[in-house]
A and B are shown apart, each in its own frame.
Chain A
Amino acid sequence: MEKVTLTINDKKVTVDKGTTILNAAKQVGVRIPTLCHHEDLCIAGNCRVCVVEQKGTRALVASCAVPAAEGMQIYTNTKKVREARKTIIELLLSEHAGECTSCYRSGNCELQALAQEYLADGDKFIDVADRSPIDISSPAIVKDDSKCIRCLRCVRTCAELQGVSALWSVNKGNHTKVSTFMNKPMHYVVCTNCGQCINRCPTGALTERNYIEDVWAAIDDPQVHVVVQTAPAVRVGLGEALGMEPGAIVTGKMVAALKALGFNSVLDTDFTADLTIIEEGTELLLRLKEALVEKKNVALPMMTSCSPGWIKFIEHQYPELLDNLSTCKSPQQMFGALAKTYYAKKKGIDPARMISVSIMPCTAKKFEAARPEMNSSGFRDVDYVLTTRELAHMIRQAGIDFRSLPEEKYDSIMGESTGAAVIFGTTGGVMEAALRTAYEIVTGREVPFKNLNIEPVRGMEGIKSAKIKIENVKDEWKFLEGAELSVAVAHGLANADKLMKEIKSGKANFHFIEIMACPGGCIGGGGQPIPTSPEIRKKRADAIYVADSSLPLRKSHDNPEIKLIYEEFLHEPLGHHSHELLHTHYTPRRSRA
C-alpha cells in the first residue's frame, strides 16, 4: 500500500494513500466533529462541520471528503476553523426546530451535542425551520421535517444499505428537503419500515412511532392482563440504551425490569423462535420432498419470513417471488397468536382482557403487528410493539436502577428457549438454528460442525453461502441421501436485492435462504440503541453467540416447552392448529408507491 505523510497540527503522520484527513487525524488523537459523515455510508461532504484549514489554500477543506496528500499541512483548531464551525452549527440550528426539551432524541442528538460543545447561539439567525405537518401516517416511522438538517444520512441509508430509496432529496435551494415519491406520506410509499434511517438520523427528524403511553395505560388498567414478549436481540442491545457497553448481555435484568414495570406475564419471543424452527424446518423438508420425490412444481429456494422489513420489501419489489417465502409467521406474530389462545387457556385468562406487548429491536414489527391478517387468535394478536429504545425510556421513567437490578427468570410457560432461538438475533442465526434441527431430523445426528457452531453462515459479510452434504439419512428421508443442501444468507436489503436478482437471472441456485432486512440482522435493527456502527454491531453479535453457547439447550427441538405445546395443543408441525395460528400469506404491492 502506498503511503503518504502529512502533518496535522504540526504532528507528522503517515497513512495509507486514500485515507481521509478525518481518519488521518484520528490516528494522532485529533477528533474532528462531523454530522453528515457516517461509517456505514458513502461520503457526502455536505454539512461542512468537519472543515479544517490546509496551509496554502484559501478555502477550508472538508476533512471527511478530502484524502490526505503528501506534504499536506493541516490545522484543525484555528480561529478560522472554529468560527466557521460555530457559524455552520448556528445555521443548522436556524433550520432546526430547537424544541429540545420535548424532543424524543434529546440527550442523544448529535446536533445538540455539537451546539453545546461550540456554545453555539441557537437564536443568532432567523428561524427558517420547515414546519410541514409531522408525518405520522406510518405505524412505525415518524418524519418531522422541522428537525431535519439535510445531512442526507437517511437518504444514503435507504438507497445504499437498503436499496429501497423511499427517501430522497428533492427540490433545491431553500426548498431542499428529504421527501418521498411525489411527497406522499410514509405509509403510502415503498418504505419497508426497517428504521435504518432512524438509526442514522443525527437529530429527531426520523423517530419510531412510540406507544409508551398506550402501554402504560394497559399496565395501569387492573382489568387487563398484560403479556410481554422480548425478542432475542433486545437482550444484547438494551444495556447500551441504559449506559452500558455495547455487547452487554442483560437478559435477567431486562426480565426483572419488565416485572418491576408491572407487566403481568414476562415471556420470551425466543420460545416462538424455537417453534418457528420446527415449523419452518418441516416446511423446508416437505418442499424438498415435493420437489424431489413427487416432482411437484414447488417454489424453491424457500426464503425465511421472520423479518417484516424484508417481507414488505419483497411484496413491493419482487411480488413474483412471494411463493418462495416460508408461510411461517414471524416469531413475534406466532407468539401473539398463541398468547391469546394457548397461554390464555392454560392460565385461565380471558383473551378479551389480555393486552399483548412485544419488545423488539425493530420498527417494522410495528407495521407487522398492525397488518389486518394478524388476528388469528380472534383478537389483534400483538397489540403494541415497543422498540428497545422505548423500553429503555420506560425503565428510566420508572426510576429503575437497571445496572444494579438482580437478575430474574422468565415466567412459564412460553418462557423457555434454546441457544438456537437466541441466535435469531443476528444474521445467519435463523439459518444456523434451522440447520441444527433439520439435519438432525433427517439424519438422526447433530450437524457436523464443532460445538454446533456453523461458522460459514456467521459473520458480517453481506451475502454468505454454505453447502452441507447429507449422508446416512434415516429411512423416511431416503430421497435426501447424498444430497447437498445449498443455503445462502443475506442481511441489509441492498444485499437481499442483489441476491434476488441473482436468483431471478438463474445465476444463483439455493434450497434455502435467510434474509434479514437490517445490516447485521436484528442486532442492528431499526429499534436498537443509537448510534450504530460496524464495531457496535459486531459486539452485539458476539454477545448473541456467547448467549447461545452458554445455554444448556442449543437446538430448538430440545426445548421442553416446544415438546409440550405439540403434545397438548398443536399436535404436529404444519398441522391444523399450526395453519390457523402460525402461518400466513402475503400481499403483492406496487413497486413505486
Chain B
Amino acid sequence: MSVSDKNKLLEKMQERVNLIFKDTDCGAILAKGLSMKPDDIINMVTDSGLRGRGGAGFPTGIKWRGAASASGNKKYVICNADEGEPGTFKDRRILDEQSDKVITGMAICAYAVGASEGYIYLRGEYNFLKDKLQSNCDRWNKIFNSKGINFSVNVRSGSGAYVCGEETALIESMEGNRGEPRNKPPFPVGAGYMNEPTVVNNVETLAYVATIIEKGADYFKSIGTKDSMGGKVFSVSGDCSVKGVYELPLGMTIEEFVNIFGDGDTKAVQVGGASGVCVPRKNFATTVIGFEGVPTGGSMMLFNSSRSMYHVLKNFLEFFEEESCGQCTPCRVGCQQLLKGIEAIRAGEKPMSYLDELRKLAATMSVASKCGLGQSVASPFNSITEHFREEICY
C-alpha cells in the first residue's frame, strides 16, 4: 500500500469512531446525565456494552451496579491514570486534551453509584500534567458546588511503581501503604479506598462514559463487534510507518492493523503491552483485536524482522522482575526464574528442554499468582516462546 492509501484508510477508520478527541460540551453532557435516574444511567452503560479500557475488560455497568448496591458510609470514584503498561501512552493524551470528558465521566459515575469523592491517581512520571489537571479539577469542583452536586475531584500522585496500576495496589498506595495488591474478595466495589465502596475505572473508560451519555448506547454499540463494542484508543509504537495515539473501532484483524501501521516487514505484534500476547505474522489474518481475540489496553508494539525476539522477551522479563511487587511467591521468584532461565539456555548452561519447564512455570504463575501482574506474565512468555522458540534458544 502506498503511503497516501494508508493515510486514507487510517482517516476512514478514525472517522468511524472519533469520540474521544472531538471537543464537545461537557457541561451539557453532565446536565443530561443528572437529568436521568441513577439506575437508568447504569442500565445505559450496561446496555452500551462498554468494557473497561484499562486492560482487564470488566463490564463497566456491572461494576457500577456492584458499587451502587453496596452499603457504606461514603463511596469513592477513582480514575486510574497510572498508565504504566510498557507501550501505552494514550491516557496521557486523553488527560492532556480531554480531561473535561474524564471528569464528567467521573461525576456521572459518582451520581450513578452515590459517590461523593473522586480521585485521579496520576502516574508519577506524568507529574508535568498534575498542576493543569488539578486546576481543571478545581474549576469543575466549583461547577459541582454551584449546582449543588455533592461531588469533588482531586489529583493524587503515584510514585512510579507499575503494580500501583492494579486497582487494589493503587488503593493501598493512596492510603499511604506499600503498593501491594490485596486479597480478593473483597473487591473494591464492596470495600475499596478506606474500606468503602469504590469504583476504579481507567481514564479512557470514563471518557467513553461521557460520550455514551452524549450520544446514547446504541450509537456506541454500532461501532465495533458484538463482543467488543465501541471504539478504542491505541498507542502504536515500534517498527511502524506511522506511530502515535489513534482511536479506532474494535474488531479489526491484526492484518488490517499492520497494513495501516506496519513498515512492510512486520514479523510480530505485541498486543496489550509487556503483559499482553505476541502474535506472529502467520496469525495476523485470523486474529481479531478485541475481547473475542486479543484484548488490549491499547498498546500495539510492532516488530520487524531486524528484531531479536529473545531481546524483546528479555526486556519484558527484566521489567517484570523489577516491577513485581514482590509479595507473592509465583510472581516474585517466578519472574526471576523466567529471566535467568532464558539467559541460561542462551548461554548453554541449561538444556533447551529447560524451556518447557519454564513454560510450565509460567502456566503455574498464571493460575497461582495473587494479582494480574504475575498472572499475565505467561501471556508474553508463552506466546513468544511458542512462536519464536529458535530465536530464544540460539
Contacts and interface: CB of A to CB of B under 8 A. Distances in A.
A176 B161 CA distance: 13
- Interface size bracket, B side: 35 or more
A176 B322 CA distance: 9
A172 B163 contact: yes
A127 B183 CA distance: 29
A275 interface: no
Given A84-B364, A125-B337, A128-B337, A150 B370 contact: no
Interface string B293-331: 000000000000000000000000000111111111110
A60 B367 CA distance: 5
Contacts of B370: 45-46, 48, 62
A153 B6 CA distance: 59
A91 B329 contact: yes
A367 to B, nearest CB: 29
B349 to A, nearest CB: 9
Nearest to A176: B326
A125 B370 CA distance: 21
Interface residues of chain B: helix, strand, loop or mixed (majority): helix
A397 interface: no
Given A46-B327, A87-B364, A176-B327, A126 B332 contact: no
Interface in A46-82: 46-49, 51, 58-60, 62, 65-67, 80
B357 interface: yes
Given A46-B370, A48-B368, A58-B367, A91 B334 contact: yes
Contact of B332 (A44, A45, A49, A173): A173
A173 B323 contact: yes
Given A62-B183, A94-B337, A174 B368 contact: no
A173 B367 contact: no
Nearest to A35: B329
Contact of B327 (A51, A67, A128, A169): A169
B178 interface: yes
A395 interface: no
Nearest to B186: A67
Given A84-B367, A84-B368, A169-B327, A128 B333 contact: yes
A88 B330 contact: yes
A389 B62 CA distance: 56
Interface in A88-113: 88, 91-92, 94-95
A483 interface: no
Contacts of B178: 169
B274 to A, nearest CB: 14
B337 A174 contact: no
A83 interface: yes
Contacts of B322: 172-175
A88 B341 CA distance: 16
B32 interface: no
Contacts of A91: 329-330, 333-334, 337, 361
A87 B327 CA distance: 17
Interface string B345-389: 000000000000100110010111110000100000000000000
Q: Which 10 A-B pairs have the closest CB atoms?
A: A176-B326, A91-B333, A65-B183, A173-B322, A45-B183, A87-B364, A46-B327, A173-B324, A84-B368, A126-B340
8 contacts: A47-B328, A62-B183, A83-B364, A91-B334, A126-B341, A126-B344, A172-B323, A174-B321
Given A173-B326, A175-B322, 10 more contacts: A45-B370, A65-B183, A66-B183, A91-B333, A91-B334, A126-B340, A172-B325, A173-B332, A174-B335, A175-B326
Interface of A: 43-49, 51, 58-60, 62, 65-67, 80, 83-84, 87-88, 91-92, 94-95, 124-126, 128, 149-150, 152, 169, 171-176
